[in-house]
Amino acid sequence: MIKVKYFAFIKDITGKEEETLDLNCNTIDCIIKFLSEKYGRKMEEILKNGINGVKVTILVNGKISHTVADGDEVAIFPPPAGGELVKSKFDLLKEIRKFRENAPPEAGSLVVYLGFVKGIVDGHRVYELRYEAYEDYTIRRLKEIEDELMKKYHDVVKIKIIHVISNMKPGDDVLLIMCMGRGRKDSIKAVEEAVELVKNTTGIWKLEIRDDGEFWVVAGNTRVKRIND
């Protein structure tokens, strides 16, 4: 039995978030062939070529692999739009204060990035952003980003990433990145790089509800209109 999980516009086609398949498959190509036959030409086209230039990613147990085995978990998703995942709004000042209070003695600067929901995109009113995540993979990836940046930037002594996974309204805070350093330069660079890594290498997506329709926002701020049967 192989568990397959679907995200963003992939689950619009399947009509479900996951399913368990009883297949005699040992390659990803076999999985793609089965799903293409089950869900039709639209699924086949997306799995092979992507949609609107956005390719899908297929992970086996959280890693790139061309083979599968009984008991594996396969996740199929587009590149993400965008530590710690939280399921509700965070208290901005409380989080910054808590991070600051635990400053190591060698620290002398604190750089903060805050991302919040826009109210207007491309001239259209945004009503809501609905975030979702491949949670196990993303939690691990956020920790990897923190560790990578600590190693890369010598003067960084502490970094924390918080991302909300919930339904958010314009003005709501979504992404908080805090970096403490011996000086400001490495901390500024680390925060800037962290924003790009969160947006492009984690398993986080958002469905943008606007006055002109619903759009999945994936890598590079590419917007894919929601697929409706």
| Residue in 70, 64, 63, 56 with CA at minimum distance from that of residue 23 | 70
Do both 108 and 179 map to the same domain? yes
Helix/strand/coil percent split, the chain, to 5: 35, 35, 30
Instruction: Give the residue-averaged pLDDT of 85-96.
Output: 90
Do both 65 and 107 map to the same domain? no
Range of the domain at 14: 2-77
What is the predicted pLDDT for the residue at 184?
94
The amino acid at residue 207 is L
CATH code where residue 180 lies: 3.90.1170.40
Per residue in 11-53, pLDDT tens? 888 999 999 999 989 999 999 999 999 999 989 988 888 776 6
CATH code where residue 71 lies: 3.10.20.30
Query: What value does the mean pLDDT of the chain take?
Result: 90
Query: Would you say how long the chain is, in residues?
Result: 229
Say which DSSP state 79 is in.
Answer: P
Per residue in 131-183, pLDDT tens? 988 888 888 899 999 999 999 999 999 999 999 999 999 999 999 999 999 99
Do both 68 and 94 map to the same domain? no
Do both 206 and 167 map to the same domain? yes
Instruction: Give the residue-averaged pLDDT of 200-223.
Output: 86
What are φ and ψ of residue 176, in 5° steps?
-125, 125
What is the predicted pLDDT for the residue at 228?
66
| Count of domains forming the chain | 2
